[in-house]
Amino acid sequence: MTIKYSPDHQWIELNGQVGTVGITHHAQEALGDVVFVELPKVGNTYAAKDAAAVVESVKAAADVYMPAHGEVIEVNEALLADPSLANSDPQGAGWFFKIKLVNPAELDALMDEASYASFVA
C-alpha cells in the first residue's frame, strides 16, 4: 500500500481504487487535543483540495481537505465517538474517511513520506 501526504497535512493510503484519509501526526500535534470531528456524508463527491471534514481541538478548528477527487464510501464512526483517536493514533485508528478515487494518478502530485518529513522539518 502506498501512503502519500498533502501540503495541508492530510495523508492518504491507497489500496487499489480506495484511499483512506486522515490527518498527519504533525497536524494533530499542531492542533492539540482533538475534541470534535465532523465527517462527510457517505456518497458525497469532492474534488481535490475541497474541504470534506472538520477537526476541532481545544486550540483551533481546521478543515480536512480531499487529497484527490473521489466519492466518500465510508466514515470512521469510532472517531465520531472518540475524537481523541485523531491524537492517539492519527495514521491508524484515527483515520477520517475512505474514498473511491476517480483518478488515482492525481496522487502522484502528493509527497511521499521522505518528502513530507522534509516539508515539516
Domains delineated in the chain: 2-102 (2.40.50.100)
Question: Mean pLDDT, to the nearest integer, of 66-91?
Answer: 97
Residues in the chain: 121
102 burial via Cβ count (<10 Å: 0-12, 13-18, 19+): middle
Amino acid type, 9: H
pLDDT for 24 equals 97
Of 78, 96, 101, which is closest to residue 27 (Cα–Cα)?
96
User: 113 pLDDT band (50/70/90 cuts)?
Assistant: very high
Give me 72's grid cell: 466518500
**What does the mean pLDDT of the chain come to?**
96
pLDDT for 98 equals 98
51 has pLDDT over 90:
yes
pLDDT for 42 equals 98
Of 79, 88, 77, 83, which is closest to residue 56 (Cα–Cα)?
83
Say how far residue 96 (Cα) sits from the centre of its chain: 6
pLDDT for 23 equals 97
| Residue 118 main-chain phi, psi, to 5 deg | -65, -40
Question: Mean pLDDT, to the nearest integer, of 18-33?
Answer: 96
1 has pLDDT over 90:
no
